[in-house]
Amino acid sequence: MIVTIHRGTHEIGGSCIEVRHADTRIVLDIGMPLLAVNGERFDMRQYQSLSGPELVAAGVLPNIAGFYKWDQDSKSVDALLISHAHLDHYGFAQYVREDITCYLGEGTRELMALSAIYSNQGWHPNKLSVIRSATPVTVGSMQITPFLVDHSAFDAYAFLIEAEGKTLLYTGDFRDHGRKTYSIGRMLKSVPQGVDALLIEGTMLERNEQPKTERQIEDELYQLCRATSQLVLVAVSGQNIDRLVSIYRAAKRSKRMLVIDPYIANVLESLAAKAKLPHPSPSFDDVKVYFPSSITRKLKRVGKEEQFIKYGKYKMTPQQLSGRQSEVVMLIRPSVLDYLQKINGIDGAKVVWSQWGGYLTESYNKKLLEFIHEHNLDLVTIHTSGHASVETLKNVVKTLMPKRVIPIHTNTPELFRDVLDDIDVSEGVDGVDFLL
Ligand SMILES: [Zn+2]
């Protein structure tokens, strides 16, 4: 078995791995980088004038023969596997040949379809195959077993790949302090000890701090809601389902309703068949919807009005919100500031920043910070990472006892050597093969 990390040996984001055995080739993740080579935030708009082959030549897309739409002459890659619905793991999937089967979780498929509507990231693969945890699939000479893992993306998977007695486990992104902690134990019980290679994420290696659990996040939110009679606004990723559940539970415990925009309502409703999630419905009469014009205009523009009209009976108006501020937790984003302006008496409200702190300094949040300042809002951060602590990484390695550890999705692969004794840590180079 030959493994090539095309991107991710020394960076967080843009993950892409190719695995070959005999005539079979598969690709694990085809992510968009988070940072450009100059260290600034990666922006695809800078490359809009380039053709597909030019994107490969410029190193924006990994160089993989028979993988992209414009490369029909080479022998096709046999499968693409997407670990989860974060752009740094699937953001370049739109360039992939449509005759390549894409394996992914059902929740991942739903989240990617919604992102396509809201962010114009049109990706509609022709050949999809939905995976289930612990249920193997065969691709050519390889057997691939997905395992559900705990991560800030819903429905995230690790992949065990077996071919002719060789075994590789790719963890994808994972943690064990979210709401699916049981999943890591289950995976560790199922994966054979002594795998030939463990391709493991190391996002948190450089931080080495014990992250809070989602339960602690829920408690902190609850304490904050209880301690104020003001409106509580939470800035959160609409796809961080564990966090949305923590916020809902904290709101419920403090006898507040959860008020969400149509996008988050769509996300929760589309996943509700897979998990018992709060969403606007008769079963959750404490979940309401507000209608910011930035979102309704967008949906009208793409002919998807039904995506917000269906929530009409759960509507909260700015007037209603103005009069019920002590009873509300409202999820916000920078594009809803026009709407927030219409809520009377919002001054002094609480704002909870519930995502990675680095995003707050991005230019798209400048207006939000100005709004917070103008209205004298009280900004606090309540957040925990989507990635495994160093303790968890060590535990996974000690349990699996792999023949070698290959770090990925980390800025500091060399730090694995400091935390692992007696284990071969193979620090890779992007595009260079490992022979297992
Ligand atoms: Zn992720």
CATH of the domain at 108: 3.60.15.10
Number of domains in the chain: 2
Ligand 1 centroid–CA 197 distance in Å is 21
In angstroms, what is the span from residue 158 Cα to ligand 1's centroid? 12
How buried is 378 (Cβ within 10 angstroms: 0-12 exposed, 13-18 middle, 19+ buried)?
A: middle
> What is the reported pTM?
0.95
Q: Report CA(416)–ligand 1 centroid distance (Å).
A: 20
221, 119: one domain:
no
Q: How far is the CA of 53 from the centre of ligand 1 (A)?
A: 27
Distance 149 CA to ligand 1 centre (A): 11
C-alpha 150 – ligand 1 centre gap (Å) = 10
| Res 182: pLDDT | 94
Token pair of 278 as six digits = 């709060």
Q: To the nearest 10°, the Cα dihedral for 329, 334, 336, 338?
A: 120
Tell whether 267 and 368 lie within a shared domain: yes
Whether the CA torsion 89, 94, 96, 98 is positive or negative: it is: positive
Separation between Cα atoms, residue 259 and residue 250, nearest integer Å: 13
Q: Which residues contact 301 (CB under 8 A, 6 or more apart)?
A: none
Q: Is 213 exposed, middle or buried (0-12, 13-18, 19+ CB in 10 A)?
A: middle
| Structure token digits, residue 23 | 């005539």
User: 384 CA distance to ligand 1 centroid (A)?
Assistant: 13
Domain boundary among 357, 381, 405: 381
CA–centroid distance, residue 86 to ligand 1 (Å): 5
Domain termination residue (choose one: 360, 381, 402): 381
Task: Calculate how far, in angstroms, residue 344's C-alpha sits from the geometric centre of ligand 1.
Answer: 38
Is residue 270 domain-shared with residue 121, that is, in the same domain?
A: no
Ligand 1 center to residue 324 CA distance, Å? 36
Could you tell me the distance, in angstroms and rounded to a whole number, from the CA of residue 17 to the centre of ligand 1?
Answer: 15
Query: Both 67 and 175 in a single domain?
Result: yes
243 and 360 fall within a common domain = yes
Q: Which pLDDT score is estimated for 94?
A: 93
CA of 176 to the centre of ligand 1 (A): 14
Contacts of 359 (CB under 8 A, 6+ apart): 365
Residue 121's pLDDT is 66
Contact call for residues 313 and 288 (beta carbons, < 8 A): no
Would you state the pLDDT for residue 38? 85
96 Cα–ligand 1 center, Å: 20
Q: Do 164 and 267 reside in the same domain of the chain?
A: no
Residue 244, Cβ neighbours under 10 Å: how many? 26
Environment of ion ligand 1 (residues, CB < 5 A): 86, 153, 173
89 with 218, same domain? Answer: no
174 with 193, same domain: the answer is yes
Residue 294 sits in which domain range? 214-381
In this structure, are 202 and 156 located in the same domain?
yes
Residue 391, pLDDT score: 95
| Whether residue 122 is found in the same domain as residue 178 | yes
Residues ≥6 apart with Cβ < 8 Å to 193: 399, 400, 401
For residues 48 and 96, membership in a common domain is answered with yes
**pLDDT by residue for the chain (436 residues), tens digit each?**
999 999 999 999 999 999 999 999 999 999 999 998 888 889 999 999 999 999 999 999 999 999 999 999 999 999 999 999 999 999 999 999 999 999 999 999 999 999 988 886 666 777 999 999 999 999 999 999 999 999 999 999 999 999 999 999 999 999 999 999 999 999 999 999 999 999 999 999 998 789 999 999 999 999 999 999 999 999 999 999 999 999 999 999 999 999 999 999 999 999 998 899 999 999 999 999 999 999 999 999 989 999 999 999 999 999 999 999 999 999 999 999 999 999 999 999 999 999 999 899 889 999 999 999 999 999 999 999 999 999 999 999 999 999 999 999 999 999 999 888 888 999 999 999 999 9
Domain with residue 245: its CATH number is: 3.40.50.10710
**Whole-angstrom distance, CA of residue 167 vs CA of residue 170:** 10
